[in-house]
Amino acid sequence: MLDIEEIVVKVPEGVVVQQDSPLVVFDPIEAGLQALRDEATKTVFDCTTKAGDDAARQFRAGCVKIRTSADRAYKEWNEPMLDMQRQMRGKRDYIKDEVTQVEEPIDSQIKAEESRKAAEKAERERIERERILVITTKIEAIKGIPIFLINENSEGVQTAIAQLEARPIELEEFGDFTGEAASAKSKALETLSDMHTKKVLAEQAAEAARQEQLKLEEQRRQQAEAERQQRAEQARIAAEQKAITDAAAKDAAEQLAQAQAILAEAKRVQAENERQAAEAKRVEAERLQKSLEVDAQAKAAAEAACAMPKESPAVEAEISLGVVMADSTAAVLQIQPEPEEERPSDESIIRAIGDAFDVDAATAIAWIIEVGRNAEQANQLRKAA
């Protein structure tokens, strides 16, 4: 195992190690560390066995010993050097304090003069900056006139041109910036002149456009008024047509109602007539039934007489008469009334009349009403008769 006391040694006095020398300088510390590395690399410690574990522990103890020996050697080397550094710092501070006491009065005079000169220079520079600022502000104001008047009309621009032309550029005011001020005035007048020309043209075009717009608006107003009047007239005509249509529809409805009433009355009269006819038929049937019964009785009597010995000619004639009456009554009873046809609807009647005579429904209804009136008058005349 490597011993720290063997490798931590002082460099012999008089030996100078040159770092850039091509010769290889022997370093005992590095040589000892390399021997330690080689031993650790070449030795295989089998910690699973007691011998291997003991060897590994012994090697580790040697490494710990080297580290602690290095700390002790560093402390032995460093303490004398630290003491020397403290002494050197104390001497340095003493020298500086002594020199400062001698230097400070002279330094104060020098700095006071420097401060005075710096203050005077700063004041001169401030005054110069303010002078330049005033002049440049005026020049920038001249340059900015066109921009300031960019939204002004032509009259305002013309006024600004006249004012700028009357503005003098003097050496007393502008000093070494007189040339720049004159150039700024010239360029501003040129820009304003061009701006004035363009604004005059633009204002003329705008006025023409405004007049054209007014003309178009007046045309639109007149067109809108005409359209409004046209719509009002159309609405009036539509209202009149609707009123006429509504009146015609109302008249047609009233006529239809009258026609339906007349047809209803005709149906009622027809039903009454049919009832009376049925009643007459019933009475006639009862009469015929009674006659049939009488004839049957007569026929039975006649048949009974035929079964008897022949009577006189008068009796035979009576018997023959009874047979004939019975046959006649039977013949009358066999007569049956023909079935009535089904009556069409009111709408069908009106449509049929219109189709037959090529007239509209209103005319057909008017005709039906007139026929109903005539029929009613005829019925009243029959009742009066």
Residue 146 near residue 192, CB atoms below 8 Å: yes
Name the amino acid, one letter, at 169.
I
Helix (H) or strand (E) holding 371: helix 361-384
Query: What is the share, in percent, of the chain residues with pLDDT greater than 90?
Result: 38
Residue-wise pLDDT tens digits, 258-301: 878 877 887 888 888 888 888 888 898 888 888 888 878 877 87
| pTM score, whole prediction | 0.34
Indicate the DSSP class of residue 370. Answer: H
Q: Which residue has the tokens 């030795």?
A: 43
DSSP secondary structure of 305-330? HHHSPP--HHHHHHHHHHHHHHHHHH
Residues 6+ apart with CB under 8 A from 35: 2
Helix (H) or strand (E) holding 194: helix 178-307
Residue 190 near residue 161, CB atoms below 8 Å: no
Q: Which two tokens stand for residue 313?
A: 């000619």
Residue-wise pLDDT tens digits, 41-79: 888 888 899 988 988 899 899 889 988 888 888 888 888
Q: Where are the alpha helices (H) located in 144-177, listed in sequence order?
A: 145-148, 154-165, 171-174
Flag the least confident range among 83-97, 172-186, 346-360: 346-360
Residue-wise pLDDT tens digits, 298-346: 778 777 766 655 444 544 444 444 444 445 444 444 444 444 556 677 7
Q: Which residue has the tokens 């009111």?
A: 346
Indicate the DSSP class of residue 115. Answer: H
